[in-house]
Amino acid sequence: MLFGNELQPALKIDGYYVWCGSVIRGDDGRYHMFASRWKREHTFHPGWMTYSEVVRAVSDTPYGPFEFQEVVLPARGPEYWDGCATHCPQIIKRGNQYLLFYIGTSFTIEVRKDNLKDVATVARSTKRIGMAIADSVLGPWKRPDKPVITTKPGTFYSFLVSNPAPVIEPDGSIFVLFKTRKYIEKGCSAFFIGAARAANPESPFEVITPEPLFGADSPNGEVEDPFIWIDKDGLYHMVAKDMRGDVGGSEADGVELVSRNGLDWKFRQVAYIRGEHSLRERPFILFDDNGEPLALYTATADGYPYSDPEAQTWNAVCKYQK
């Protein structure tokens, strides 16, 4: 197993749900975490789709604790594709540019306590993937006028696209795994994993998978929240949540898979276990300058926040087991 179960808090913010968590070492030598937060006065679900905002926190060490610094991608109104909520950030660096992938929602339905189910349906259907760009991890961030990965009628990604997992390939291309759903007669399907690629930040992303790589009906099993990297030998690695235990044998634990091309994946090992926590999701691994893993960050909860309003959520960190 790559990572143990000795977790310590990386980022907690009083009065807020905290979810996600993506870390990079800045030019200042400090460690910058991009995460999602929304006020606890709102429900966990669908609050993450209606009130979430991407924030930045900082620490002098990879293991935190991280201190909140600023809201990076605030709400900017439903006239924008990402105007109501931003969520699920993933930060990478390409050359001298920082690329911040995230999802956005935009809707005009009024959010009330008595219509949250309808709100969830509407907001979920507007989830799209964006990529903000900056020359510094401190910003300023140029937000896109349009999503960089969006839906397409008649495909397995016709309802929404979400949860981007980007990596820079050896030739400089940007490869992204993403979560998606398709329209079905009574709403939307269970989710799938697809892949897209762009030659550079100025080029359009093209979905390169005619069929999903993973999903409830896929022989590869069902995974969520992939994080990917490419090692020095060119091998692609993925750590993801094993939704039903079809991949690694234990429901909701993290699994590692490997691939030669980013498309054909094989199970390698269990990467981490959920342990005593109700949820341990959104895995993100930080590497040192030599490409060796330092730490695993996961969104974590001490209860089941979807139904328990008292449950606390935060980003947790654990060290790599050599």
pTM score > 0.75 for this model? yes
Superfamily of domain 8-304+312-319: Glycosyl hydrolase domain; family 43 (2.115.10.20)
**265 closest CA partner among 225, 227, 238, 233:** 238
Q: What is the mean pLDDT of residues 23-27?
A: 96
pLDDT, tens digit (0-9, with 9 covering 90-100), for 204-253: 999 999 999 999 888 889 999 999 999 999 999 999 999 999 999 988 99
What is the number of alpha carbons within 13 Å of residue 49 lying toward its C-beta?
24
| C-alpha angle 31-241-107 in degrees, rounded to nearest 5 | 80
Say how far apart CA 107 and CA 118 lie, in whole Å. Answer: 12
DSSP letter at 320? B
**Do the bridges between strand 67-73 and strand 53-59 make them parallel or antiparallel, or are there none, so unpaired?**
antiparallel
DSSP SS3 for 50? helix
Report the mean per-residue pLDDT for the chain: 95
Q: How confident is the model at residue 177 (pLDDT cuts 50, 70, 90)?
A: very high
| % the chain with pLDDT above 70 | 99
Distance (Å) of CA 144 to CA 23, 123, 149, 245 = 22, 19, 11, 37
Q: What is the mean pLDDT of residues 93-114?
A: 96
DSSP SS3 for 64? coil
pLDDT for position 52: 98
| Residue 20 Rama label (left phi>0; alpha psi -120 to 50; beta) | left
Beta strands in 13-159 (DSSP E): 16-25, 31-39, 53-59, 67-73, 85-94, 97-105, 128-134
DSSP SS3 for 49? helix
Q: What is the mean pLDDT of residues 107-120?
A: 94
Question: How many CB atoms neighbour CB 168 within 10 A?
Answer: 16
Q: Which two tokens stand for residue 31?
A: 């460690």
pLDDT for position 74: 98
Residue 117: its H or E element: helix 116-125
Contact 48, 19 (CB under 8 A): yes
DSSP SS3 for 125? helix
**Do the bridges between strand 128-134 and strand 97-105 make them parallel or antiparallel, or are there none, so unpaired?**
antiparallel
**240 closest CA partner among 182, 298, 181:** 298
Say how far apart CA 207 and CA 277 lie, in whole Å. Answer: 35
Domain limits, the chain: 8-304+312-319
What is the number of alpha carbons within 13 Å of residue 114 lying toward its C-beta?
0
pLDDT for position 192: 97
Indicate whether 1 pLDDT > 80. no
Say how far apart CA 128 and CA 158 lie, in whole Å. Answer: 11
Say how far apart CA 192 and CA 245 lie, in whole Å. Answer: 16
Q: How confident is the model at residue 3 (pLDDT cuts 50, 70, 90)?
A: confident
